[in-house]
Structure 1
Amino acid sequence: MKGTTKSPPAVGFSEIIWSWIGAFLGIGSVAFINFNVFEGTDLVMIIGSFGASAVLIYGAIRSPLAQPRNLIGGHIISAIIGVTAYKLLHNQMWLAAAVAVATAIAIMHATRTLHPPGGATALIAVIGSPKIHSLGYLYAVIPAGSGAFVMLVIAVLINNIPKTRQYPEYWI
């Protein structure tokens, strides 16, 4: 089948390097906190959905889905929805998973905070480990909100070093 648009042009080497540096420092920071500061506690700082957020906020910085409102709002809203779905439907995990992701998408749309990794944040709240489940609604603060915030700070710092990059496009 033929598509309706053309593939985007390749990015330059400089763009690749700055994306790599941002992702390394962003994920490295939340991972460092997780494995060094929170080790031996019941807290978690890194979740799998942050990998997808890193692609957006360091590699696709002009995307509306990568902007701060979407990053922070999408993760926090989705975390709350995921925890609620787990608490209400944990006896039917398939249903809890489906309700969490579908509701997260709907609410992110309604609040203009659509951030695709938020769907994974909601799903992780349902299918995550007992350590994730034990966090309850704290999951929306640590790791979802605070981890996303750490990554945002690094995105603002790193993405604005080269004159060819500007992040964010907007805040709210």
Structure 2
Amino acid sequence: MPAASPFGGYRLGRTRGAIAIAVVAYASSRAQLPLVLGSFGASCVLLFGFPDSPFSQPRNVIGGHLLASLVGLVFLHLLGDAWWSMALAAGCTIAGMQLTRTVHPPAGSNPVIVMLSGASWPFLLTPTLCGALALVGVALIVNNLRTGRAYPTYWW
């Protein structure tokens, strides 16, 4: 059985995750640009609940989301949104993240999101890249507020 988080960890994760989504959603509203992806909620679980995990490092969060959305867009525009192209895109996303050492499990849903929404190429910039950068930016600030904490563990 996994070890339980210390009592304060639950409050910190909850508060930090809420702050991150609030910042990205508010920026999206103010800029009138799509900056929020459904997969960003799961990214917050890692970034603020498990910030030392390899899956939570900037390389993985940004690279994983970008690669996954790119794969989804390529498959959507070359093969359409059929069930089998969605499945191939998801599988290729997993392999691509493993090959590039940018595994970020929440990003695995991006090809599905791309296909279900019929996204176009600007989806790579907004919401994918800008939103992932904003999440990492918030994580850099709030995960380092407490002394003795150093986020990220590594960049590249």
Among 23, 38, 61, which residue is 1:71 paired with? 61
Answering whether residue 40 of structure 2 is matched by residue 56 of structure 1, we say no
For structure 2, the 5+ residue unaligned runs are none
1:14 aligns with 8
How far 1:166 moved relative to its partner? Answer: 2.6
Answer whether contact 1:70 1:114 (CA < 8 A) is retained. yes
1:112 aligns with 2:106: no
Counterpart check, 1:81 vs 2:81? no
- In structure 1, the residue corresponding to 2:4 is in which secondary structure? coil
Check if 1:47 corresponds to 2:41.
no
| Other-structure match for 2:26 | 32
Structure 2 residue matching 1:45: 3-state secondary structure: coil
Distance 1:137 1:78 in 2: 13
1:121 counterpart (110, 119, 137): 110
Render the CA deviation track for 1:89-115: whole Å, top value 9, x for unaligned: 21x520221111111111100000000
CA distance in 1, matches of 2:144, 2:109: 28
| Runs of 4+ with >6 A deviation | none
Structure 1 position 141 matched with structure 2 position 135: no
Larger radius of gyration: 1
Q: Which amino acid aligns with 2:76?
A: Y
**Between Structure 1 and Structure 2, how many residues are aligned?**
156
Shift of 1:53: 0.4
For structure 1, the residue ranges without an aligned partner over 5 or more in a row are 1-6
State the distance in 2 between where 1:74 and 1:127 align: 19
Could you say what the CA RMSD is over the residues aligned between the two structures, in angstroms?
A: 1.4
Match of 2:141? 157
AA paired with 2:151? Y
TM-score by length of 1: 0.85
TM-score computed with the length of structure 2 as normaliser: 0.93
Matched letter for residue 67 of structure 2: I
Structure 1 position 57, deviation (Å):
0.6
Q: Is the 8 A contact 1:77 1:140 kept in 2?
A: no
Q: 1:10 is paired with a residue of what secondary structure?
A: coil
